Structure 1
């Protein structure tokens, strides 16, 4: 199994076309076809099906593609780290971000990385905490924001901040950031909630359990963006971290208010314990802690405290 074969496999899977893959790899189309065919012969499986939608990976191919991407990523990182100046952090760093934090964190973090570590290429992936933890465990991301977690044998955790969850409704719902709202009022409305098992949903269910009333769940989704869209469209209220809705409330797209009693989550930074942490990963992790602390100190992260 050769590097060029894996590169061809991943490229065809991403673009869905041998012709387009050959253009991107700057080789002739028959060369890509030969590389895919030789892989199939070596492994004894079919890797792609030709359909009207293009080249579609088979189930066997999906298994190989996931591992090939990881291998190619590690080789890219090794090339970047074999640099003339060992004191200058460089390489590819994949960062997992909670979706509710992206508006706040991405602009200052990316700007600071570009200014202080120009040799570092950032790759930003968003998801909810459960997926992010899986990605950290399997090496898809090098470091990740998570919440309500402590150190584990495989992961070192740095606690960053605590932030409040808010009740969120459409603009005319009468919600006021200066007037906390109780769960009885929240549960009187249809709700748009994260899917069962989502870490935020677990926190919501635990907090509202003191009120003897089952929620009227109108829609469940694993997307913060969809939660907000559905609330704007009038499908119900929701509960989200204040940081994820502050801009929408300020712009009048949504209404929001703190919950009473307060419901908080702890945002942490997770790093794998296994193996040596590359200089570039350590540099970005330290910078992420610094940027987050700066946002909290400046009052730019709504409701957050260290």
Structure 2
């Protein structure tokens, strides 16, 4: 595809408009850019002339308000600046030069074992990127990715929206959680049939909750007899330790504190059908509609190398 270059629109104009829109006032934009407000106003006026439409309305009492065209141009201008930043970072070939904010998400139960080592490794490679993270559950993370409030998120690669792209990182196996004094606590492994009749502590957060129910169905068993439900791994473990039932969870046991100190033991699932179908993949996901900026791409690359 051939493009006819239009040198009229400059990155400087895009930058002035984006900063002014984010700042809310010309004076604050001028402070951030170390420029005179009049110079920023002239730059935005020239951008409006090129676009052929008014992009913002300036009111003393309410500051800067974007028009409908201004909202569209703001989104595209910000993507343009992020792409320019990515090109510059690629030309430098050095992640240490990447700068700016990055907001990432993580499925709630993965965060304790995923976010701390990732932040440490990313800070070592990209020391000038300011990373903030959000812990949430599956649907909330997807909504935030599609809304643009998250650049990328650690998720289980199940039931993902087709509007998202993902990069697989590592796989996790299901395991059965028993009280420390359970009759099967000394067994090397346990099948779902062994615990089918026992009270069940259900980790009630999709997509993992659906996968657990599928495991029972794949084994030809009735759904588990749910005694309690919780969206917290810690609460599920505590209820199992208290003898309130057994559970099935997904996680990397080697990343956890010693389970014996928590009053529970974990057992590999022996059901052949279950073990071949139930393994879950942890991936990084991001919106298809927005190309990864240099910071988000670096986050994906560092995660792939660190966890892969």
Q: TM-score, normalised by structure 2?
A: 0.62
- Structure 1 residue 289 and structure 2 residue 284: aligned? no
Match of 2:118 among 109, 124, 137: 109
Q: Which runs of 4+ in 1 moved over 4 A?
A: 2-6, 150-153, 174-178
Per the alignment, residue 206 of structure 2 pairs with 198
Among candidates 167, 184, 190, match of residue 181 of structure 1: 190
CA contact (8 A) 1:158 1:268 kept: yes
Identify the residue that residue 31 of structure 1 maps to in structure 2.
none
Q: Counterpart in 1 of 2:50? A: none
CA distance in 2, matches of 1:177, 1:243: 21
SS in 1 for 2:198: coil
CA distance, structure 2, for counterparts of residue 140 and residue 230 of structure 1: 35
Q: CA deviation at 1:193?
A: 0.7
Change (3 A) 1:135 1:234: farther
- Give the direction of change, closer, same or farther, for the CA distance of 1:288–1:233 in structure 2 (3 Å limit): same
Tell me if the contact between 2:190 and 2:268 (Cα under 8 Å) persists in the aligned partners. yes
CA contact (8 A) 1:175 1:256 kept: no
Query: Which residue in 2 is equivalent to 1:125?
Result: 134
Residues 98-126 of structure 1: per-residue CA shift (max 9 Å, x gap): 23333332232111122111111221222
Is the CA contact (8 Å cut-off) linking 1:150 and 1:157 kept in structure 2?
A: no
| Alignment counterpart, residue 249 of structure 1, candidates 237, 253, 259 | 259
Aligned-partner SS, 2:263: coil
The 1:179–1:127 alpha-carbon spacing in structure 2 relative to 1, beyond 3 Å, is: farther
Q: CA deviation at 1:146?
A: 1.8
Q: Which runs of 5+ in 1 are unaligned?
A: 7-37, 43-70, 294-306
Distance 2:223 2:162 in 1: 38
2:270 alignment partner, one of 253, 257, 260: 260
What SS does the aligned partner of 1:287 have? helix
CA contact 1:177–1:256 (8 Å) conserved in 2: no
Instruction: Name the counterpart of 1:224.
Output: 233
Q: Give the Cα–Cα distance (whole angstroms) in 1 for the partners of residues 187 and 304 of structure 2.
A: 29
What is the aligned residue count? 225
Per-residue deviation, 1:128:
2.8
Q: CA deviation at 1:246?
A: 4.0
Corresponding residue of 2:286: 271
Shift of 1:204: 0.8
Unaligned segments of structure 2, at least 5 residues: 1-20, 26-60, 66-73
Q: Sort the Cα spacing of 1:177 and 1:248 in 2 relative to 1 into closer, same or farther, 3 A.
A: farther
Helix, strand or coil for the counterpart of 1:188?
coil
Q: Does the CA-based 8 Å contact 1:231-1:237 persist in structure 2?
A: yes
Instruction: Compare CA radii of gyration and give the structure with the larger one.
Output: 2
Per-residue deviation, 1:167? 0.7
- What is the SS of the residue equivalent to 1:172? coil
Contact 1:149-1:157 at 8 Å conserved across structures: no
Q: Deviations over 1:20-50 (max 9, x none)?
A: xxxxxxxxxxxxxxxxxx77xx9xxxxxxxx
Partner of 2:47: none
State the SS of the aligned residue for 2:215. helix
Distance (Å, rounded) in 1 between the aligned partners of 2:174 and 2:186: 12
Deviations 1:39-74 (A, max 9, x none): 7xx9xxxxxxxxxxxxxxxxxxxxxxxxxxxx9xx9
Q: Is the 8 A contact 1:192 1:231 kept in 2?
A: yes
